[in-house]
Amino acid sequence: MKTMILSKLPSKSTRLRRCRFHFNLASDSSSARPFSSSTISTEKNDPTTQFQKTASNVCEVIRRKPRWESSILSLFPPSTSGIFHSICISLVIRRLSDSNPLLSFRYLLWLSSTSSSISLDPEAAGSFLNALSASRAWKPALHAIRSVKCLSEFSVLDPFVFHLCSDTRSIYCDNNLLYDLCDILESHSTELSLPSWNSILYASLITEKTDLFHRFYSMMIESGTDPDASTAGYLIRALCRDGEPTVAYHVLRDVSRKRIIPDVVSITQLISAFSKGGNFGRVSEILHLMIASGSQPDLFTYQEIINALCDGAGRTAMVDEAFRIFNDLKLKGYACDVVTYTTMIDGLCKSGRMEEALLLWSEMVANGIRPNNYTYNAIINGYCKSGNIDHARKIYDEMLSKGFKESTVSCNTMLAGLCLHGRLADAINLFAEMPKRGIHHDVITYNTLIQCLCKEGKTSDAIELYSSMLATSIKPSISTYTPLIMILCEEGRMTDAMELIKIMEAQGLEPLVCSNDFIISGFCRVGDAEKGMAWLSRMLQGNLKPRAETMDRLVECLCSLGQVDCALQVMKKMFDISYSVGSSVCHLLISKLCAVDSYQACQLLDEIVLVES
DNA sequence: ATAGGGTTAG
């Protein structure tokens, strides 16, 4: 007991001391000065004594009178009381800051509305901002900095900025804090210390304000502050978040030439970005650079690579490579954890290698790692995809019996499994069950079932489900509309299909290219070649390439309507965008043309040969 | 001392 107290106490007091160091540096060094009898004459009519008197009276009034602003000047006439003298102002600010920071803020506001330029000593300015920082009154503090010039002096502003940006919770809560800070810094072109710049950059990064990040970063560079490893790391992370891994990579190259090595987290994010983009050549390059510069990739680094290698469902070779890295990790003594195991198990499940996945599961358990929701879901998904719904169900029940709660994701997984294997009735049943079991639907739940209903030809049920979705707070996505548009086009319900396209556009959703194909084919199906052609023009204008099949259909439709010229026009449009025309379309059109006009047929043939060469 | 990692449809 005693040792516990002893071991705890010192660390706590060190922390306290450190806090005071940051917060009260200015006030500590000066606290004695105004009242120090050794430096100031004690005569009655000494001006300093006068200011002290006024200051304490002003404080009294401000503390006691609710609406002191309206009467304070009549109580303290500026010419005789010295209320606007910098010594007096500083004294009031310091006293109020100590007891009631917001009152000192109000006093400062009043000052700035009354007197054009306020001057207070840096110590008072410092304790003012420290007091507001300590009570996390960031908005008033920023407001004060904006309106009172002496608050943006380096010695006052720098610690303030550092504390503001370290309070990540407030920054998350109030989006505008960083923007306000940015505006202030841009208008003052203040210098800041490297730690302060880094804390600003970190705050911008974690709140995903990369626009701000770059503004701050330029200010930092313009102010002549040299970035360090943290700065470089944050820059790399910001660029990765912006989808600019290549730029981030060049930053990494540049700084490592100067022997500045960003932290593993940042480099891992860069590796993650290239992994997700499938650029594994670049990934191994960065790994080499990392190792050569003396920093070791860790479990997280490899985890990103393994995950990306497992991502492509059809790429079994990549899963093999992931598995190789995974096994290599174990050999090298990395402590693979539940996430690493789950990622690998999921990769194996997704490529249909259930036996290996289950072996890994056993190995994991043997190593004392408990499977969690994610692990269970990977296996359930694996069984669902391979059509073994009953096994999936068994694992699902096991998951529940182990105390893991089912979720929207686990239900969606089962739902998709049922849908995939034609068990529509069970799927509908599960959908209805979900809310009863306290599991809410989401956009994926709806999309899965809508797609399934469309696939099974239950168009009206699909539309009904879509309508009921609109009554919820769940917003439809592109994948909600794609199967609906497809089925409507297949049924020749072009008015309804076009209606959905319009709704999508109104919701800012871009129909997939294949939906455009469906529309054209649909118009052909109902013999409306004109609308089909119009839609084709729209597609081509939007730089979308129709499928060869769609073209076949349109040419076929136009030919059957005897509109060979139009068919020819379609062909020309294809040539214009140097689209390679399928041979079946060429055959069809040329044979049609031959029947009408063999000269034109020859011309077309020439052009095809020209384009294809 | 701590940061960063894995799931469902298409």
Smallest CA–C1' distance to B4, residue: A265
Over A480-508, what HEC string results?
Answer: HHHHHHHHHHHCCCHHHHHHHHHHHHHCC
Helices A564-576 and A548-560: crossing angle in degrees, nearest 10, is: 160
Which bases of strand B sit closer than 7 A to a protein CB? 3-10
Determine if residue A279 is left, alpha or beta; phi over 0 gives left, psi from -120 to 50 gives alpha, anything else beta: beta
Over the stretch A112-164, which tens digit does the pLDDT of each residue have? Answer: 998 778 888 999 999 999 999 999 999 999 999 998 888 999 999 999 999 99
Asked whether residue A198's C-beta has any atom of DNA/RNA strand B within 7 A, the reply is: no
Contact indicator for A33, A39 with CB cutoff of 8 Å: yes
Asked whether residue A381's C-beta has any atom of DNA/RNA strand B within 7 A, the reply is: yes
The whole-number pLDDT of residue A600 equals 72
Smallest CA–C1' distance to B3, residue: A265
No. of H helices and E strands in chain A? Answer: 35, 0
Distance CA A507, CA A111 (A): 51
Helices A154-166 and A176-188: crossing angle in degrees, nearest 10, is: 160
Instruction: Spell out the alpha helix ranges (H) of A175-315.
Output: 176-188, 194-206, 210-222, 229-241, 245-257, 264-276, 280-292, 299-311
The whole-number pLDDT of residue A316 equals 61
Nucleotide with minimal C1' distance from the CA of A410 is B8
Angle value at C-alpha A487, between A481 and A489, nearest 5 degrees:
95
Positions 271-300 in A, CB within 7 angstroms of strand B: 272, 298-300
Distance CA A601, CA A351 (A): 50
Asked whether residue A509's C-beta has any atom of DNA/RNA strand B within 7 A, the reply is: no
> What is the C-alpha R_g of chain A?
35
Asked whether residue A263's C-beta has any atom of DNA/RNA strand B within 7 A, the reply is: yes
The whole-number pLDDT of residue A175 equals 83
How many angstroms separate the CA of A14 from the C1' of B1?
A: 15
Distance CA A27, CA A137 (A): 19
Angle value at C-alpha A391, between A390 and A395, nearest 5 degrees:
120
Instruction: Spell out the alpha helix ranges (H) of A526-578.
Output: 529-541, 548-560, 564-576
How many angstroms separate the CA of A300 from the C1' of B5?
A: 6
Torsions phi, psi of A380, nearest 5? -60, -45
How many angstroms separate the CA of A475 from the C1' of B9?
A: 15
The whole-number pLDDT of residue A4 equals 37
The owner of tokens 């660029």 is: A239
Nucleotide with minimal C1' distance from the CA of A230 is B3
Asked whether residue A433's C-beta has any atom of DNA/RNA strand B within 7 A, the reply is: no
Over the stretch A281-323, which tens digit does the pLDDT of each residue have? Answer: 999 999 999 999 999 999 999 999 999 999 875 566 699 999 9
Residues of chain A with pLDDT under 70: 1-45, 313-317, 580-582, 609-613
Torsions phi, psi of A213, nearest 5? -50, -50
- A243-258 burial: b if 16+ Cβ within 10 Å, else e: ebbeebbebbeebbee
The whole-number pLDDT of residue A106 equals 95
Positions 459-488 in A, CB within 7 angstroms of strand B: 477-479, 482
Over the stretch A236-260, which tens digit does the pLDDT of each residue have? Answer: 999 999 999 999 999 999 999 999 9
Smallest CA–C1' distance to B2, residue: A265
Asked whether residue A76's C-beta has any atom of DNA/RNA strand B within 7 A, the reply is: no
How many angstroms separate the CA of A503 from the C1' of B7?
A: 31
How many angstroms separate the CA of A598 from the C1' of B5?
A: 66
Asked whether residue A307's C-beta has any atom of DNA/RNA strand B within 7 A, the reply is: yes
Positions 170-189 in A, CB within 7 angstroms of strand B: none
Tell me the C-alpha to C-alpha distance, in Å, between residue A430 and each of A392, A454, A512. 14, 18, 29
Of A340, A400, A393, A344, nearest in space to A373 by CA: A400
The DSSP secondary-structure symbol of A151 reads G
Asked whether residue A334's C-beta has any atom of DNA/RNA strand B within 7 A, the reply is: no
Nucleotide with minimal C1' distance from the CA of A376 is B7
The whole-number pLDDT of residue A28 equals 35
Contact indicator for A484, A454 with CB cutoff of 8 Å: yes
Asked whether residue A514's C-beta has any atom of DNA/RNA strand B within 7 A, the reply is: no
Contact indicator for A415, A429 with CB cutoff of 8 Å: no
Nucleotide with minimal C1' distance from the CA of A412 is B8
CA A558 to chain centre: 48
Distance CA A416, CA A414 (A): 5
Asked whether residue A412's C-beta has any atom of DNA/RNA strand B within 7 A, the reply is: yes
The whole-number pLDDT of residue A2 equals 37
Smallest CA–C1' distance to B5, residue: A300
Asked whether residue A351's C-beta has any atom of DNA/RNA strand B within 7 A, the reply is: no
**How many CB atoms neighbour CB A200 within 10 A?**
26
Tokens of A266: 């940042």
Tokens of A435: 């809310």
The whole-number pLDDT of residue A612 equals 63
Contact indicator for A295, A262 with CB cutoff of 8 Å: no
Distance CA A505, CA A493 (A): 19
**How many CB atoms neighbour CB A19 within 10 A?**
12
How many angstroms separate the CA of A301 from the C1' of B4?
A: 9
Distance CA A142, CA A160 (A): 10
How many angstroms separate the CA of A264 from the C1' of B3?
A: 9
The whole-number pLDDT of residue A13 equals 37
Distance CA A338, CA A348 (A): 15
Contact indicator for A151, A157 with CB cutoff of 8 Å: yes
Nucleotide with minimal C1' distance from the CA of A297 is B4
Asked whether residue A406's C-beta has any atom of DNA/RNA strand B within 7 A, the reply is: no
